[in-house]
Amino acid sequence: MRILPPKIWRNKDTHYALSASVCEKCGNVIFPARASCNKCGSFKVKLVKLSGKGTLLSFTKSHQIRTGYEKESPVYFGLIRLDEGIEILAPLVDVDDDPKDGSRVEATIRRLRVDSSNGLIEYGTKFRLIENE
């Protein structure tokens, strides 16, 4: 497993700004952003930044370890409906006990993984519970 700077660079909008595309023809929201609509096939899409806020629909506490992410295990993954209407599965942070379905969550930038060979660290989006909104 190698972390390569060009890959982190080209994914910066996805991970640091939650950049999505919106189809100008059918209104579909596509995340990660693409230059085509995955619903109607149109190429007329525009880039938008997602709010990063959403509602937790469900979650799982995973004990599976992946190379580079060893320190994160066990990890909660949440199925989140973002306020823009799309559903994504993403890691949850700062969660010690099982969260409640229906909780409000927001995106935050955290460490994703570490390259053991060159020491590079990759950062990206995870979600945390919002205490008071």
Partner 1 sequence: MTDAYVSGASMIKVDKYYESNAIDLAIAAVSQLEDQLTTKKPDMLFLANAYSESTEEQVLLANKLARTLGYEIPAFRVESGDSSGGSAIYSAYLAVKSGIAKSVLVVGTEKLSDFPTSHLNDIISQNLDEEFSYRSGVVPQAYAAIQMKMYMKEYGVPREYFAEWPYHMHKYASENPFAYLKFPVEKEAILSSQIVSEPLRLFDTAARSDGASAVLITNHEIGKKISETPVKIEGVEMFTSHFDYRQLKAVQGALKPWREFRPDFYEIHDSYSVTAAMILEELGLERGKSLYMLDQIQVNYSGGLKARGYPGGATGVYQVAEGFMQLAGIFKGKRVRDANRGLVISADELGSVAITIGLSR
In the list 42, 51, 58, 116, the residue contacting partner 1 (rule: CB under 8 A) is 58
Q: Alpha-carbon distance 113 to 126, whole Å?
A: 12
Of 46 and 131, which has the nearer Cβ to partner 1?
A: 46
Q: Which does 42 bind (CB under 5 to 8 A by kind): partner 1, Zn ion, none?
A: Zn ion
Of 67 and 118, which has the nearer Cβ to partner 1?
A: 67
- Number of amino acids touching partner 1 (CB under 8 A): 35
Of 25 and 34, which has the nearer Cβ to Zn ion?
A: 25
Residues that bind Zn ion (CB under 5 A): 23, 25-26, 28, 37, 39-40, 42
